[in-house]
């Protein structure tokens, strides 16, 4: 008998090259995701600094698109600053744009 092979359509491979141009590349992770037990005044200062890095980033829109398309996997990720926004801003966008 002859064997029939079906071609499976694979999803396109993501292009991660934009991450090389990110303003946050090489920065300390703690700037974007604070330590456990961080107090409100310290968090506000850290978030302002992180948002300033993101504001000057040449790939901010690519980062935001990527982040909103990904499901949040942990409370740490939900509590940080990424894409120039905090989790409280990103969560509603994620709900409007389910992956």
Better-scored residue on pLDDT, 86 or 76: 86
Averaged pLDDT, 65-91: 63
Residue 33 lies in a domain: yes
pLDDT at 88: 61
pLDDT at residue 75 is higher than 70: no
Residue 92 lies in a domain: yes
Q: What's the structural domain count of the chain?
A: 1
Residue 79 lies in a domain: yes
Better-scored residue on pLDDT, 92 or 30: 30
pLDDT at residue 96 is higher than 60: no
pLDDT averaged over every residue in the chain: 78
Range of the domain at 67: 17-96
Q: How confident is the model at residue 76 (pLDDT cuts 50, 70, 90)?
A: very low
Tens digit of each residue's pLDDT (9 = 90 or more) over 25-70? 999 989 988 888 999 999 999 999 999 999 999 999 998 888 777 7
Residue 40 lies in a domain: yes
**Residue 13 token pair:** 């491979």
Can you give the pTM of this predicted structure? 0.62
Q: Are strands 85-86 and 81-82 parallel, antiparallel or unpaired?
A: antiparallel
């Amino acid at each position: 008998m002859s064997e029939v092979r079906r071609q499976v359509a694979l999803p396109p491979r993501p292009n991660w090259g934009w991450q090389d141009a990110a303003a946050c590349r090489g920065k300390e992770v703690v700037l974007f995701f604070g330590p456990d037990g961080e107090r409100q005044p310290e968090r506000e200062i850290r978030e302002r600094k992180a948002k300033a890095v993101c504001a000057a980033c040449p790939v901010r829109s690519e980062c935001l698109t990527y982040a909103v398309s990904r499901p949040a996997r942990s409370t740490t990720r939900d509590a940080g600053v990424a894409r120039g926004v905090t989790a409280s801003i990103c969560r509603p966008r994620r709900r409007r744009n389910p992956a």
